[in-house]
A and B are shown apart, each in its own frame.
Chain A
Amino acid sequence: MSTYKMFFAGSGGQGVLLMGQMIAQAAMLEGKEATFLPSYGPEMRGGTANCTVVVSDKPVSCPLIYEADIAVVMNLPSMDKFEPMVKPGGWMFYNESIIDRKPNRDDIKAVAVDLAARSAKLGNDKVANMVMLGEVVRGTQVVQPETIFKVFEEKFTGKKAALIPLNKQAFLGE
């Protein structure tokens, strides 16, 4: 591995920023360099949200990216915007539950994830982003799944610790 550049995009409330943060934190725990840059503005629930994450073995020169090795898109406007920015041979993970078109590119690895069905099966639609995170991490190996579990332990403390098994289940696609 040298450098992974990633976009995470969707609408506010879908948990795209958390996915990006968790990857950055996991990368740090693995001793790698990482940056997380959220779009910021007069944002609100239901508005657009996206972030860029760069994970690398060497210091990250620039947190801003204009092309990605991995794009994670949670709704149609995000796929329209970020699909063209995936490098040839790169990955795009998309939320097929609400994106009613197929990818336009045939030179990228596109992975459809039915987040609505998968999270309904888990009985909690709030873990949809963890289902997606699992697909991304297990698919690309950008960080190790075990490191994400360490991040869960750091993020979910106190009462929230009870949520770890459900999030692991969502992450592992069980």
Chain B
Amino acid sequence: MITDKVLMKGNEAFAEAAIRGGARLYFGYPITPQSEVPEYMSRELPKHGGCFVQAESELGAINMAYGAGSAGGTVFISSSSPGIALMQEGMSFLCSAEVPLLAMNVSRGGPGIGGIQPGQADYYQVTRGGGNGDYKIPVFAPASIQEAVDLLYEGTDMAQYWRNPIMILADGMIGQMMEPVRLPEFKPVLAPNEIAGKRDWACTGYADRGGDQNRRVVKSLRMQPEKLEEHVEKLFKKYAQMETELARYESENLKGAEIVFVAFGTTARICREACEILASQGIKAGLIRPISLWPFPEKAFDEIDFSTTKAVISAELSMGQMITDVKLALNGRLPVFLAHRTGGMVPTSPEVAQRAKAVLEGLK
């Protein structure tokens, strides 16, 4: 039998997807559970005329990304939770200076250096931002390797279109597992003089601009408060547009459901199986799977069948962070409960199903 799929480890597929999406610059520092990304990039990126740099630290990596992105490069970086934490200052600078970047967090258990098993306790970090000031970063959370590949492939252009960092959040399990994946075609890569033309804000140097002598400035410092306020308000017009255009989700079995899970990434897959277990016991359970975490897909919650659903469960690999957004989206329409493990522990589907039954029992 012929298949156009290949069996790939998540981390390697992520790196390949970024290359096929046009990323030619990668800066990183090894950290489990995503070290196969820099390993793959160090081996494969030079074959495509790209450049891999192992930075001295994640601080170095994010600032190299800032510089290379300012110059019009198509940049991809990746790390895991504590490494992404180190990059937060840079994220704030990139947002302020409107520098595109495709970033990936293959997250693990925290806080602190934590552990290396899968975690989702970076939800606040990636959706609220760990850097200073008013800024937003769109965050997408794939639940399979294929979805991660598709998001990364799209992400290179998305970052350029919005002139903003785009974050892909995959937990360590999606990074470490293998699944069949269909890889997309290589996108054409811009030549230096094309970059100067198409990215008409980028500091490419005069030589590539065919005689255009206008200065291009990429900066995040604005000393006059009037100018800074004006700049931030301009950024927020962009973020408002992102909120209407980038919210994504999937919903399953909401019609007639007694209980609805809300879960992303690996946890969504566990909840999908928990729904099957509950169905076999005569309990109809539905699932809302946010694909974008910011903007949070609030619309999905209007699809809930309020005539049958008694409660909503936010299922997370954390002590409960997304649950804040679930409550905001529901705005008191239904009681919200948490099903969780943390620190790198992952619940089984029967555990999650049991939690749902206990919640329904408690409401009687």
Contact = CB atoms under 8 A, between A and B. Distances in A.
A161 interface: no
Interface in B167-184: 172-173, 176-180
B67 interface: no
B280 to A, nearest CB: 13
B58 to A, nearest CB: 21
B337 to A, nearest CB: 21
Given A25-B7, A61-B269, A61-B272, A36 B177 contact: yes
A36 B173 CA distance: 10
Given A61-B272, A62-B349, A41 B178 contact: no
Most buried by B among A21, A34, A38, A61: A61
Contacts of A41: 116-117
Contact of A28 (B5, B173, B349, B350): B5
A33 B348 CA distance: 21
Nearest to B179: A35
B186 to A, nearest CB: 22
Contacts of B113: none
A37 B32 CA distance: 16
A21 B7 contact: yes
A64 interface: yes
Contacts of A34: 7, 179-180
Given A61-B269, A61-B276, A62-B270, A37 B176 contact: yes
Interface range for A: 20 to 34
Interface in B240-286: 266, 269-270, 272-273, 276
A34 to B, nearest CB: 6
Which 10 pairs, one residue from A and one from B, show the smallest C-beta to C-beta distance?
A36-B178, A28-B180, A61-B272, A37-B177, A66-B348, A62-B273, A61-B273, A62-B269, A25-B7, A40-B176
Classify the secondary structure of B's interface with A. Answer: mixed
B331 interface: no
Interface in B32-50: 32-33
Interface string B217-261: 000000000000000000000000000000000000000000000
A37 B174 CA distance: 9
A38 B272 contact: no
Contacts of B272: 61-62
Interface in A50-75: 60-64, 66
Nearest to B176: A40
A36 to B, nearest CB: 4
B3 interface: yes
B338 interface: no
A156 B28 CA distance: 32
B116 A63 contact: no
Contacts of B350: 66
B346 interface: yes
Given A30-B1, A64-B346, A35 B273 contact: no
Interface in B6-24: 7
A60 B143 CA distance: 11
Contacts of B346: 64
B3 A28 contact: yes
B217 to A, nearest CB: 45
B116 A40 contact: yes
A61 B349 CA distance: 10
B178 A31 contact: no
Contacts of B116: 40-42
Given A24-B7, A24-B178, A33-B180, 15 more contacts: A21-B7, A29-B1, A34-B179, A35-B178, A35-B179, A36-B7, A40-B32, A40-B116, A40-B172, A61-B276, A62-B272, A63-B177, A64-B266, A64-B269, A66-B349
